[in-house]
Amino acid sequence: MKMTGIHDKIIAEYEDADFNRRLHMYLQFPRLRSEFILIDQRNLNAESPAGFTSPRFALAARIGVLFSSAAVCVKKLFGLASA
């Protein structure tokens, strides 16, 4: 997709959005989903424990981090997270 002013604004809004807004934007702009996923991956990597991306980090620990992150997303999606 061409970089335009509107495109840049949508991407900037997605980066600043909370979980619910990101979900709506993900569904609303299917052509931008690959970029949204990259943003989410970047954020997840920034929040990951030190050494998570290291090849020495155990596979079981990596899977545990991924599943716990997915569980939080599902809880938020269905309103099960404690406030």
Query: Tell me, what's the pLDDT at 50?
Result: 61
Percent share of the chain, pLDDT over 90: 40
User: Is the separation of the CB atoms in 22 and 14 below 8 Å?
Assistant: yes
Q: How far is CA 39 from CA 57, 81, 82, in A?
A: 23, 23, 26
Exposure letters 44-72 (e unless 16+ CB within 10 A, then b): eeeeeeeeeeeeeeeeeeeeebeeeeeee
**pLDDT for 61 beyond 70:** no
pLDDT category at 52 given cuts 50, 70, 90 is low
Span 62-74, average pLDDT: 64
DSSP 57: S
Separation of alpha carbons 69 and 4, rounded Å: 32
Average pLDDT over every residue of 47-70: 60
pTM flag (> 0.75): no
